[in-house]
Structure 1
Amino acid sequence: MELVCPAGTPASLHAAVAAGADVVYCGFRDATNARNFPGLNFSRAELRDAVEHAHKHGVHVYLACNTYPQAGAEEIWHKAVDDAVAIGIDAIILADIGLLRYARDRHPDARLHLSVQASASNEEAIRFYHQEFGVRRVVLPRVLSLDEIRTLNQRIQVETEVFAFGGMCVMAEGRCSLSSYATGESPNMNGVCSPAAHVHYEERGDATVSRLGNFTINIYDSDEKVGYPTLCKGRFRAMDKSGYLFEEPTSLDVTAILPELADAGVSALKIEGRQRGKAYISQVVGAFRASLDKIAKGQHDARSKLSTLSEGQSDTTGAYRRNWQ
């Protein structure tokens, strides 16, 4: 399985290459990608140098152009596609139907992947993107079980890429608008979920309050680890009880089920975290590289060595193993 690793900066890309990535994915420094945070992403010149460095070490580079163009500003997204092809990107990760059509018509030889932002999780949807736009790989939403992925791979003609480590997204990926209710900005249109400019922390006695815009997302006791305030990971009061209604702070980690994912026909493993630093990238990529190399030799160690990097020091296999069913 191909190891697809994140890079939010040139330094992180170099770290991912050195740690054993097969592919590094990144984005331009604008609203065309779903991690449009200050201090992240690449200029055209930086990406050109990054591609040259990666290719020199036998590593591919994918460009995430996976937000939805805003009316009247389509040329920004069109230019991102054109520039990616000119730079020599190995694949472009897209979500918007209009942009997929543009890429296919303007650059028929370009390799196109379907972003998780498109939220395509069934045979009919994936076949549509393959037939209409020549999509060669689909990044699956984090809602499918291993059995569902195996069945899907037996029925479609494109590669599948699944998330392997990092933040969870329990909403319908590509359809979530929670952030826009609180901040006016969403990942789908603006490339940001819970933008840092709207994040605030307050001390309230012995407790720490995390806020997003005008909304209190969580209140932490002094002995609790304080997390980043995103609405889907907030604590809410309902039915006279307080708790995590959508999702507890935890990270996805598929180390234990890597052989099962390979058996299900998965082509690539995606590590989440373009907003993370190069030290995080080095450790996570290195751990997965070692695990995949052991599997290639017929060995497997199901124990993860990444628990200290998991959100809340807690990890899960998510929907891949539906223990609640």
Structure 2
Amino acid sequence: MAASQSPVELVCPAGTPAALRAAIDAGADCVYLGFRDETNARNFPGLNFSREELAEGVAYAHARGGRVYVAINTFPRAGHPEIWHRAVDDAARLGVDAVILADLGLCDYAARKHPDLRLHLSVQASASSAEAIRFYHEAFGIRRAVLPRVLTVSEIAGLGAAVPVEMEVFVFGGLCVMAEGRCALSSYATGKSPNMNGACSPASHVRYIEKGDKVVSQLGGFTINTFGAGEPAGYPTLCKGRFEANGRLNYLFEEPTSLNTLSILPEMIAAGVRAFKIEGRQRGRAYVANVVRSFRQAVDAIARGETPPDMALEDITEGGRQTAGAYERSWR
């Protein structure tokens, strides 16, 4: 069952109805998801929810003590906000527990049209200062801010003491090397913006080409990586490309690796974090169930005053590597 005694919410990904059920059954307090259109930042074929599926998902979660948050976190096209407004209206009508928004105009629309709807600020808004978060709270009644993955634990603690809203942080899954909501790499290569169209490195622009004993991955006609015989061919995103510079072949932006903060969850709680968020709406239900179950055990152990158990999650991390990211930043 989803209900727990922990003071920290476990917010988990649901890219499909099956993943929603898997997350709730594995112990998620909340699931976050999106409609099947460009209003959410994971707008990929085969993912996301129709209105009917959302209604069924809300019923499934609520019957088991869970909650559902809908991400409407892309930026509306200038002069054509209709589908974004409809997404907010439908989420409210279907009884979701919160909507996750990034755009100023959409925050204003939701606050005016649905004053009883709980509003969360998406990481896509890139609000990383007390002044920015207070503005969203005072202007639109934002109740929670999902923090960008660029802050240290001590910086998060400082924010918590200075803002009147709950703080949510990512604790596992993919990393973004850009300030969230400010990435133009994908739109440069493909014409599709992750912040407006909801598609970072869309599959329609991906190509794998065999050249002898090598495999070349391309995005929008740009070569992103070359893999040798027997080397797993990763998905081509520009920020994880392997390029030659100054005579050296290397990952210039970010090496394939995943965020994993299991070892510092107690410090996060002490810093005032209210919700732990797991990334992965593009992942299957087996991945979701495995990660949610592991973090459920860890969070419950902390709530009992115990040390979280060791969890072997290397097999499902990107590149088989893990990092605590900027939370334990040692550079300046």
Whole-Å separation in 1 of the counterparts to 2:318 and 2:288: 15
Q: Which amino acid aligns with 2:295?
A: F
Q: Give the C-alpha shift of residue 223 in structure 1.
A: 4.1
Partner of 1:93: 100
Contact 1:257/1:302, CA 8 A, preserved across alignment: no
SS at match of 1:25: strand
Contact 2:217/2:225, CA 8 A, preserved across alignment: yes
Please, which moves more after superposition, 311-320 or 288-297?
Answer: 288-297
Tell me, yes or no, if structure 1 residue 49 matches structure 2 residue 56. Answer: yes
SS at match of 2:289: helix
Contact 1:208/1:220, CA 8 A, preserved across alignment: yes
Tell me, yes or no, if structure 1 residue 273 matches structure 2 residue 280. Answer: yes
Percent identity, aligned pairs only, is: 64
Deviations 1:126-173 (A, max 9, x none): 111111011010000000001100111111111110001110001011
**Structure 2, unpaired ranges of 5+:** 1-7
Q: Which amino acid aligns with 2:238?
A: L
Partner of 1:262: 269
Whole-Å separation in 1 of the counterparts to 2:325 and 2:259: 6
User: Quick one: which of 124, 131, 143 aligns to 1:136?
Assistant: 143
Contact 1:233/1:247, CA 8 A, preserved across alignment: yes
User: Quick one: which of 291, 298, 307 aligns to 2:305?
Assistant: 298
**Structure 1, unpaired ranges of 5+:** none
Deviations 1:197-236 (A, max 9, x none): 1111112222221110110001112243221110000012
Contact 1:256/1:302, CA 8 A, preserved across alignment: no
Please, which moves more after superposition, 72-81 or 54-63?
Answer: 72-81
Runs of 4+ in structure 1 over 6 Å off = none
Aligned ranges 1:73-88 → 2 under 5 Å: 73-88=80-95
Contact 2:168/2:276, CA 8 A, preserved across alignment: yes
SS at match of 1:8: coil
Whole-Å separation in 1 of the counterparts to 2:19 and 2:101: 22
Whole-Å separation in 1 of the counterparts to 2:52 and 2:130: 39
User: Quick one: which of 216, 221, 224 aligns to 1:217?
Assistant: 224
User: Quick one: which of 199, 209, 230 aligns to 2:237?
Assistant: 230
Partner of 1:252: 259
Q: Which amino acid aligns with 1:205?
A: G
Q: Give the C-alpha shift of residue 73 in structure 1.
A: 2.3
SS at match of 1:188: coil
Partner of 2:40: 33
Partner of 1:316: 323
Whole-Å separation in 1 of the counterparts to 2:163 and 2:309: 29
* Aligned-pair Cα RMSD in Å: 1.0
Contact 2:37/2:43, CA 8 A, preserved across alignment: yes
Q: Give the C-alpha shift of residue 324 in structure 1.
A: 3.3
Q: Which amino acid aligns with 1:287?
A: S
Whole-Å separation in 1 of the counterparts to 2:273 and 2:125: 18
Whole-Å separation in 2 of the counterparts to 1:264 and 1:305: 25
Partner of 1:157: 164
SS at match of 1:68: coil
Whole-Å separation in 1 of the counterparts to 2:88 and 2:166: 21
Contact 1:65/1:81, CA 8 A, preserved across alignment: yes
Contact 1:140/1:160, CA 8 A, preserved across alignment: yes
Please, which moves more after superposition, 53-62 or 201-210?
Answer: 201-210
Contact 1:24/1:62, CA 8 A, preserved across alignment: yes
Whole-Å separation in 2 of the counterparts to 1:301 and 1:173: 30
Partner of 2:128: 121
Whole-Å separation in 2 of the counterparts to 1:267 and 1:250: 25
Q: Which amino acid aligns with 1:99?
A: L
Whole-Å separation in 2 of the counterparts to 1:301 and 1:156: 29
User: Quick one: which of 163, 166, 180 aligns to 2:187?
Assistant: 180
Count of residues in Structure 1 that have an aligned counterpart in Structure 2? 325
Q: Which amino acid aligns with 1:225?
A: P
SS at match of 1:80: helix
Whole-Å separation in 1 of the counterparts to 2:151 and 2:310: 23
TM-score, normalization by structure 1: 0.98
Contact 2:181/2:195, CA 8 A, preserved across alignment: yes
Q: Give the C-alpha shift of residue 58 in structure 1.
A: 0.3
Contact 1:250/1:312, CA 8 A, preserved across alignment: yes
Partner of 2:3: none
Contact 2:297/2:308, CA 8 A, preserved across alignment: no
Whole-Å separation in 2 of the counterparts to 1:99 and 1:324: 36
Whole-Å separation in 2 of the counterparts to 1:189 and 1:296: 39
Q: Give the C-alpha shift of residue 71 in structure 1.
A: 2.1
User: Quick one: which of 287, 302, 307 aligns to 2:294?
Assistant: 287
Whole-Å separation in 2 of the counterparts to 1:302 and 1:316: 18
Contact 2:299/2:308, CA 8 A, preserved across alignment: no
Whole-Å separation in 2 of the counterparts to 1:253 and 1:240: 33
SS at match of 2:47: coil
